[in-house]
Each structure stands twice: as C-alpha cells, then as structure tokens.
Amino acid sequence: MYHAHFDVRLPLPATKQTPKKIDTVVQPDICVVCDLSKLDDQGCNGAPDWILEILSPATSKKDLTEKFDIYQNAGVQEYWVVYPFEKIIASYRLDEHGKYQPLRVNPFAQGEKIPVGIFSDFEVDLEEVFGD
C-alpha cells in the first residue's frame, strides 16, 4: 500500500497502430500494488490493483470524472471514491468488459463493511475508517 506523493505511471492501451507506452502519471491518495514487479525507483509502472481517492473541494471533479476514466482505461481492478465529510464510500470494480460497475447503487456508509474484490474474505469496516 502506498500513498500520495507516489507516482503511478499508466500506459496507453496497445493498439494495432501503436505499441504500449506511458501516457499518464497520477498520484492517487492511496493505492495497493500486488504485483511487486511493477514497482521501481520512480513508483509504480502500470495499473495498481486498487486505488482510493479521497474527495476534497479542489479535487472532486477530477477524481469523479477524469481519474475515473483514466483508472478504468488503465485496468485498475478496484476504484473507491471516499467522501470524507459525508462519511461514505462509492466502490467500483472492473467488469468482464473492462468497465467500472458500482458494487451497489448507494455508497457504503459509516457502520457498514465493504468487501474488497481483489482479496477474498477481506472487508473494510467503515466504523473504523470514519469512527471517532
């Protein structure tokens, strides 16, 4: 697990016309990288398995639109958007077509537990995250 200021270098998907190359560098608030071969002295080269962005007034639009698309296109398996003032988390997972699907329609709230898709039998207790 890594937190900002940790560079994640995401490649463009390879096409018939262009080889895979680094296109975007982001610094997620929190990311989990399970494939240690992606780590180097510059950070992570490739998609982390799980990214969490914590919304703030200055970053919310970018996190909800631009980064959502970047992470989906890069193949980040799980993307969580944390709304700290509302004490809720929206959880998205890539489907078999490479598109994010919400884990459920309504975000998870304080007092609930969110299952983590990249790890079987692991969940995050939001009472511990948002509690006093």
Name the average pLDDT for the chain.
89
Q: What's the predicted TM-score (pTM) here?
A: 0.88
Residue range 104-127: mean pLDDT, rounded: 92
Alpha helices in the chain (DSSP H): 60-61, 67-74, 126-130
pLDDT in tens, 56-75: 988 888 889 889 999 999 99
DSSP 99: -
Which domains can be identified in the chain, with CATH numbers? Answer: 2-130 (3.90.1570.10)
Average pLDDT, stretch 22-37?
Answer: 90
